[in-house]
Amino acid sequence: MTNDIHAAARLAQAPGTDYGALKSVVASGASRTRSNADLTAEERTNLEAYLRYKTITPFERVQFHTPTFTLHRRGFIHLPQLTGTGGKEMDHTALEGRFDEIEDVIVKGDRLWSVFTLRAKHIGTIYRQPATDKMIGITEMCILRYEAGKLAEGWFLGDEVSICRQLGITVAVPSISNSSAMPPSAAGSRPATVGGLLDAAASQQKAGTAYDRLRSVVTKLAPGHRASDGLTAEEVVNLDCFLRYKVARLGERPNFQTANYRGNRRGIVHLPELRGTPGNELDHGALEGRFDEIEDIVVKGDRLWCAFTLRAHHVGPLYGMPATGKTVEMLEYCAMRFEGGKIAEGWFFADELGLARQIGIPIEVRTE
């Protein structure tokens, strides 16, 4: 029965699928810049390999890896630690009929970025939670690099809070004591290293930065596919707009967005709900010297996908946690669509549990 549920989705992304027809979480699909006709032979091969990889079970996927495949980050890294199963992969035997439905994908050179929904039936113990027989749908993203049509490197980020809620695992934030706050004498201080770190990063990604010089969390770059001279005029304009957006003050960022800009997802959506303030944005006043250092980026047509690390000094209350004086780092991912050189749509996805654990927000995870 589960396989029947997934049959339509599996058919929709079978090898040979029109690249522009894949559903998008950001836009309704811009076939002019995203159809198979715009792919190079290498890109088409890599897309086909990815689609085949996504239509088989996790146990069969090793055949699509190079002998030296490197997994840089699992999709779920906090739950194993919080539930006492540290270091273990997700138990795929606990998920019947797992199918990863592609929500959006972009391919350029040897790189492929994608957002997908993990769909399955929960039939066995996972993260210490016994089978519930529930159907689940979990958002996950990946950045992949290919060599000769096979997967050489991978980096994943999954919505760990969402899987808990769907499986019935309780995730709670107990009351936070003001004793967690840093001493008043430290509240106004700022380590000299923070400013220097942010200044150095800012100079590396200022507008006009060479595309192939941006650091990558996945690989040591493939200049032949990612250098600025390989971009179209439209892509150069969009990349420049994004870099200016990233080094601008938060209050200035609307200048780089269209008048009808649409934000489809915030980066942090669960922490505000856990703290009883659903819908609230990140309180930027609590983060001094915030700077988003770009880790990896790909630009194609009117689309731009980026992984970055939010770095800042925690100087004020953040999701109920008083200032700690710590320098925090949070991985975040965004997908954007541009119109006329400005950002028209954006979708963000952040490592919320990673941020919570860094600043000491107490996270309780309880199975039934």
- Least reliable range by pLDDT among 256-260, 299-303, 363-367: 363-367
What tens digit of pLDDT does each residue of 16-50 get? 666 555 666 665 444 334 445 578 899 889 988 99
pLDDT higher than threshold 60 for residue 186 = no
Q: Which residue did the predictor score with more confidence, 17 or 126?
A: 126
Please report where in the chains the tokens 């006043």 appear, as a residue.
285
H or E stretch at 164: helix 160-167
Write the single-letter amino acid at 132.
T
- Domains annotated for the chain, with CATH where assigned, are 2-168 (3.10.450.50), 179-360 (3.10.450.50)
pLDDT higher than threshold 70 for residue 228 = no
Predicted local confidence at residue 220, as pLDDT: 40
- In this structure, are residues 43 and 19 in contact, taking their beta carbons and an 8 Å threshold? no
Q: Identify any residues that bridge with 138 across adjacent strands, giving them in sequence order.
A: 118
169: confidence class by pLDDT, cuts 50, 70, 90: confident
Instruction: Please give the sequence-ordered ranges of beta strands (E in DSSP) within the chain, or none if there are none.
Output: 65-73, 95-108, 111-122, 135-147, 150-158, 170-172, 257-265, 287-300, 303-314, 327-339, 342-350, 364-366
pLDDT higher than threshold 90 for residue 344 = yes
pLDDT higher than threshold 70 for residue 360 = yes
Predicted local confidence at residue 299, as pLDDT: 86
